[in-house]
A = this chain, B = another copy of it.
């Protein structure tokens, strides 16, 4: 089972369905720019790993989870486009390339993000192959993006006079990890409840790792502008906890995430995935400097 290929093929199908040789060419180019080549596809991989842990083995078994995984990645990439806009982070670099509004202009960046939100729900309903699970999957995934607890709410907290760090991180990053994990279970018709805790810890870990990287790494290694949180007076775990404190909390969250994998056939696999993610997340330079 090649989950990388599942994800890339599902995203490619989504773009082809959005194009059909009839869409405005620059819009499709902007969408492709945002989607390919991807980052580590952490969220869709998590979704498929949970589906595997819940018993998916064949291509057919995986199909509803693949639809959910593609929707999650489309929404994640859409949020990055809008988050990079001049009225938010004004970031000119993303994954080592010009961000979408730099490459295609602000109007097409807004529209590409909008299109990808719509494509996410379209992909889910088209590829789900399990109509009885579509309502639950839509609710899980919409909840991770919309208010009150999703990414959009997280970004909107930045416009409020007071902002609570853990609530902010849970919305801006954690919600999508929780959705990816619980959607993997719901796609298999399994109970999603036991998977919340793992998604939650992993999302928090990912956000803290991102804060650490924003603080310590250079733009070249990061593939996007460094020091953005300080530049935008954005809450950052390193501010609150110090560098050593943030690193300790990252380690604790990774352990918690691995510990909260429910008992199931694929549990060991999934714990290994969590630790593999952790090694990828922790900036090597930092580990050396703290050693």
Q: Which positions in A face B, CB cutoff 8 Å? A: 18-28, 31, 78, 82, 85, 87-88, 104-108, 110-111, 113-115, 117-119, 121-122, 124-126, 128, 131-132, 134-135, 138-139, 142-143, 145-150, 152-153, 155-160
Is B107 in contact with A88, judged by CB distance below 8 angstroms? yes
Residues from chain B with Cβ under 8 Å of A105 in the complex: 87, 159
Number of copies of chain A assembled together: 2
Asked if A108 meets B26 with Cβ closer than 8 Å, knowing A135-B134, A146-B118, the reply is no
Shortest distance from the beta carbon of A86 to any chain B beta carbon, whole Å: 8
Asked if A24 meets B143 with Cβ closer than 8 Å, knowing A19-B148, A87-B106, A110-B110, the reply is no
Is B147 in contact with A23, judged by CB distance below 8 angstroms? yes
Asked if A135 meets B125 with Cβ closer than 8 Å, knowing A114-B114, A152-B115, the reply is yes
Shortest distance from the beta carbon of A247 to any chain B beta carbon, whole Å: 30
Is B111 in contact with A114, judged by CB distance below 8 angstroms? no
Asked if A157 meets B126 with Cβ closer than 8 Å, knowing A18-B147, A115-B147, A135-B134, the reply is no
Residues from chain B with Cβ under 8 Å of A131 in the complex: 131-132, 134-135
Residues from chain B with Cβ under 8 Å of A150 in the complex: 118
Of B108, B110, B115, B145, which one neighbours A146 at CB under 8 angstroms? B115
Residue on B nearest A108 in the bound complex, by CB: B159
Residues from chain B with Cβ under 8 Å of A20 in the complex: 148
Residues from chain B with Cβ under 8 Å of A118 in the complex: 117, 142, 145-146, 150, 152
Complexed CA–CA distance, A121 and B119 (Å):
11
Main secondary structure of the interface of A (DSSP, over half): helix
Complexed CA–CA distance, A146 and B24 (Å):
11
Shortest distance from the beta carbon of A109 to any chain B beta carbon, whole Å: 8
Complexed CA–CA distance, A101 and B13 (Å):
35
Complexed CA–CA distance, A106 and B155 (Å):
13
6 contacting pairs across A/B (C-beta < 8 A): A28-B147, A82-B110, A104-B159, A108-B159, A111-B156, A131-B131
Residues from chain B with Cβ under 8 Å of A124 in the complex: 138
Residues from chain B with Cβ under 8 Å of A28 in the complex: 147
Is B107 in contact with A158, judged by CB distance below 8 angstroms? yes
Complexed CA–CA distance, A19 and B150 (Å):
11
Is B134 in contact with A125, judged by CB distance below 8 angstroms? yes
Is B142 in contact with A122, judged by CB distance below 8 angstroms? yes
- Which residue, A108, A118, A153, has most C-beta atoms of chain B within 10 A? A118
Residues from chain B with Cβ under 8 Å of A147 in the complex: 18-19, 23-24, 27-28, 31, 115, 119
- Which residue, A20, A125, A145, A157, has most C-beta atoms of chain B within 10 A? A125
Is A122 in contact with B139, judged by CB distance below 8 angstroms? yes
Shortest distance from the beta carbon of A150 to any chain B beta carbon, whole Å: 7
